[in-house]
A and B are shown apart, each in its own frame.
Chain A
Amino acid sequence: MIILQTIGFLVLEKFLLVGLIVSLSMIVAMYATYAERKIAAFLQDRIGPNRAGIFGLLQPLADGGKLFFKEEIIPLASSKFLFILGPCLAMITALLTSAVIPWSTPLHLFGKDIPLQVADVNIGILFIFGVVSLGVYGIMIGGWASNNKFSLMAAVRGGSQMVSYELPMGLALIAVLMITGDLRMSVIVQNQVAHGWHIIYQPLGFLIFFICALAECNRTPFDLPEAENELNFGYHQEYSSMKLGFYLFAEYINMFISGVVMSCLFFGGYDIPFVNEAAWGINQNLLAIIGFVVLMTKAGLFIFLFMWIRWTIPRFRYDQLMNLGWKKLVPLALANMVITAAVILWLNK
């Protein structure tokens, strides 16, 4: 009975947490579209949306409502099952990645600690990588099922881009994992709380990781799969209504999640810099909330950086993209890995 109760409580707790995190990702993605438009406007000496609500804050709702009520068009020549599967996959994979992220220190409620992490699996970061790699299927299947040469071309580009940039991303990550010695996200963050952020030890690793994250999220300058001017919108050209909305939404969720992942891997996750918040002796719940706010701030800064880059740099040409990935980032990441390994070995001797 007691076992049953504990399991029931655990299931309820996890369900609540999953619901909270999914809705959080949705809300952040919603307002990321708003932020994107505002930031784009500000960087271009404009004001941006400001008619719906004060400062245009209701604009995402209006956009979402519009997308829902748009006519749904499924091209006759498309393969219908795959056509619908594409955006679903994109959305599912985007939301799945948040499962292993430690959002903050544990809460203390009803006499027990509740970790703010859905699953502290021992392959945490590998899980993220696996799911992100699956994300490319959303693009591939969507582009292929549309039965349109532009979409197909974009899908092929998306696939090759993802494959090329996952490699240096993984190599950059290996250096971090060598420092931590663990794949668990919570351990990676705690290690940084104890020994200082990984950005101090791995600046080059972070740079490579960040560039690859841009490519994985299909953000400018790596937005070749949705190049508007040469591929007419790319893989989601044939999509309309909320299926298009799902694709766009998935992109923003991906952006948010990659911001959070980068904060966790290199910027100490929920850790506040230069202070030891655990020694303040304040309520554990309050501490958890502060940690969560700190993590969200870091993720927000990353989202801003993503947008700032998008509205500054033009898109890479395809050969430039491949050159940068294979000839610059892979050797750099390899060198970074080898040097890190050598230094660790030397220090431990």
Chain B
Amino acid sequence: MQLTNRAKPVDRKPMTWLESIYLWNIGKGMLITLSHFFKKKATIQYPEKKRTFSQVFRGLQVLNRDEEGRERCTACGLCAVACPAEAITMEAAERQNGEEHLYREEKYAAKYEINMLRCIFCGYCEEACPKDAIYLSQTFAPANYGRSGFIYKKEDLLIPDPIKDPEGYKKALGERSKLKD
């Protein structure tokens, strides 16, 4: 049964003499390749030029800070629970006196690690977080020489301080700053 009328019957006729010396068809093929010679090239010069990702691209995780540069994470562990790949581990600690400028609430993550080899970049951690402390950025994990290099520590994940390094903060926020406004 035919579903469409696009099917073409295969031509099984023996080749004519002209076809059997291939020249005519080779000429046609060569014209096609020549037309590609002048076409616009699809290459993007990667390290210099980068293709822009879509607005909802899910890349490397970033641990967020608030406007005063305090870490938002309270080490509640909801992201680790939500994580289907079990890539997130953390250790909680209590905020001491005099650390109010570092951590937003009384509890904070002393250790926070994401294994980027396990992570599937599903974004469930971002969805689970009640404190807006983790989000997926528009970058991806660069290549590394060893497995240990793919276990990202808290220092690797934290966003730059908006007060000490406003430029870096803005850059890390990227497209997200526009989304918020």
**CB within 8 Å of B: which residues of A?**
39, 42-47, 207, 308-309, 311-313, 324, 328
Also in contact, A46 and B34, with CB within 8 A (given A313-B26, A328-B20): no
Q: Which chain A positions have C-beta within 8 A of B43?
A: 46-47
Of the candidates A44, A45, A311, A328, which one forms a contact with B21 in the assembled complex, judged by CB atoms under 8 Å apart? A328
Q: Are the C-beta atoms of B33 and A47 separated by less than 8 Å?
A: no
Q: Are the C-beta atoms of A45 and B42 separated by less than 8 Å?
A: yes
Q: Which chain A positions have C-beta within 8 A of B37?
A: 39, 42-43
Q: Which chain A positions have C-beta within 8 A of B39?
A: 45
CB distance from A259 to the nearest CB of B (A): 17
Closest to A39 in B: B37
Q: Mark B10-48, 1 if CB is under 8 A from A, else 0.
A: 000000000011110010011011101101111101000
Q: Are the C-beta atoms of A308 and B41 separated by less than 8 Å?
A: no
Closest to B39 in A: A45
B: number of interface residues (CB 8 Å): 18
Given the complex of chains A and B, what is the CA–CA distance between A266 and B92 in angstroms?
85
Given the complex of chains A and B, what is the CA–CA distance between A148 and B41 in angstroms?
41
Of the candidates B23, B26, B29, B41, which one forms a contact with A45 in the assembled complex, judged by CB atoms under 8 Å apart? B41
Q: Which chain B positions have C-beta within 8 A of A311?
A: 33
CB distance from A21 to the nearest CB of B (A): 31
Q: Are the C-beta atoms of A308 and B30 separated by less than 8 Å?
A: yes
Given the complex of chains A and B, what is the CA–CA distance between A312 and B33 in angstroms?
6
Given the complex of chains A and B, what is the CA–CA distance between A44 and B40 in angstroms?
11
Q: Which chain B positions have C-beta within 8 A of A44?
A: 36
CB distance from B17 to the nearest CB of A (A): 9
CB distance from B111 to the nearest CB of A (A): 41
Which 3 A-B residue pairings sit nearest by Cβ, starting from the closest? Answer: A312-B33, A47-B43, A43-B33
Q: Which chain B positions have C-beta within 8 A of A328?
A: 20-21
CB distance from A74 to the nearest CB of B (A): 33
Q: Which chain B positions have C-beta within 8 A of A42?
A: 36-37, 41
Q: Are the C-beta atoms of B29 and A312 separated by less than 8 Å?
A: yes
Q: Are the C-beta atoms of A308 and B33 separated by less than 8 Å?
A: yes
CB distance from B181 to the nearest CB of A (A): 39
19 CB-based A-B contacts, threshold 8 Å: A43-B37, A45-B36, A45-B41, A46-B41, A46-B43, A47-B41, A47-B43, A207-B23, A308-B30, A308-B33, A308-B34, A309-B26, A309-B30, A311-B33, A312-B32, A313-B26, A313-B29, A324-B21, A324-B22
